[in-house]
Structure 1
């Protein structure tokens, strides 16, 4: 920390607080307020329930494969960007000279620039792990789609269809969340780049990224359009919808507890 001036420590702490704080805020708020996360969860359940009433699932598999390719693109791109960061680390002295010649740039040492590059590499590694875990989970969804023809038989009860739809949608929802976390890391990485010029720019850019994320997840036109498909309006969830989500969550917890009891009895 001796290499890090006080203003840089404040800027870095501000960046971490905004990133972690917004992630926790968005996760908690999605349980009570209509947002992209909540409406997509509901639409995914409807999608998987529709799957249980179809014999042909080629289109569904294609849609999952298309999203999986997008995530794979970001994962591959992250590896290339990481390679670029390590290349800059190898020639940090030349990079410092270029940075110090830019206008509005605070004077900084080679060790400070190396420290900043290491932080950028850490953000990219985090994004890579999120993207690759998302890819694996989309693969799990493909496996679940593979068993969907069994669920479309007339002998399957509605309770079984509903259980399949909700749990498959849960896996799909988790894959989407991991993808979203990776993209969010990219957003904050762009703000992080401003730290190489000036810590004040870094502080402002971090706040701007949070503002952009909030507007897109809670105030965007696409959110209004998605909510309209279910007859919802932006804002707090109706009480019956919140109860339905809590009931679905409690049902999953009961199933998990029953599985644990069965495993213990089997042992």
Structure 2
């Protein structure tokens, strides 16, 4: 009963703000990966370059450049996975010492039961954990891509060369999709932390995250460069 009484400190506005954040996370991910043809996202534009990369790889000798680029991509996923793991540890440590967090909140005139702060931190940890799992899967997919790349012959007349290069390209794109999903998870975890300032803070933080991601995917200078006409 005491736990239920403490949870009653959450208002209807809190529920609306959480639904808004989680719903935006799911919907934004779908729109970015499946954009309308009239407004292609940056992620989808780069996917076409990934396919071309694998095709050009067939006749490239040696393939040190391709191996270096793939290694760099894997290192990026590994670094972010490690960062997420540290963040998860920090979040769990904060929950286990929520009394101190409550004391800081009281100093900021944000007094609330301990369970309230634990739930708010758990929301951010949900996104961070999802991002961690996405980065791990992305790293594994880049590994699969590397294996398939190594099986592609340098002989463009080899009937297996192009199909295998195309398989490598699709694996590369799938790995990038998981990586991008992990990045979005980090963005939304930061937005979730704004709940510590209350439901209005969460609504504002979520809206800022949505606006930033929409701009970077659909209205950024990098997107304009990718769309620039080539001779």
What is the TM-score normalised by the length of structure 1? 0.79
Report what 1:129 is aligned to: 133
Pick aligned residue for 1:156 from 142, 155, 158: 158
Tell whether the 8 Å contact from 1:31 to 1:38 is kept in structure 2 after alignment: no
Report what 1:64 is aligned to: 70
Unaligned runs of 5+ in 1: 232-267
Q: Matched residues in 1 for 2:110 and 2:15: separation?
A: 14
Unaligned runs of 5+ in 2: 1-6
Report what 1:118 is aligned to: 122
What is the TM-score normalised by the length of structure 2? 0.90
Report what 1:220 is aligned to: 220
Tell whether the 8 Å contact from 1:217 to 1:223 is kept in structure 2 after alignment: yes
2:60 is the counterpart of 1:54: yes
TM-aligned CA distance change 1:209 to 1:230, over 3 Å:
farther
2:173 is the counterpart of 1:169: no
Alignment of 1:18-29 (within 5 A): 18-29=24-35
Q: Secondary structure at the match of 2:23?
A: helix
- Deviation at 1:225? 0.9
Pick aligned residue for 1:147 from 128, 148, 151: 151
Q: Matched residues in 2 for 1:180 and 1:155: separation?
A: 35
Report what 1:260 is aligned to: none
RMSD over aligned Cα atoms = 1.8
TM-aligned CA distance change 1:74 to 1:111, over 3 Å:
same
- Deviation at 1:4? 2.2
Q: Matched residues in 2 for 1:30 and 1:134: separation?
A: 25
Q: Matched residues in 1 for 2:174 and 2:183: separation?
A: 14
2:103 is the counterpart of 1:97: yes
Q: Matched residues in 2 for 1:4 and 1:76: separation?
A: 33
Number of residue pairs aligned between Structure 1 and Structure 2: 225
- Deviation at 1:106? 4.2
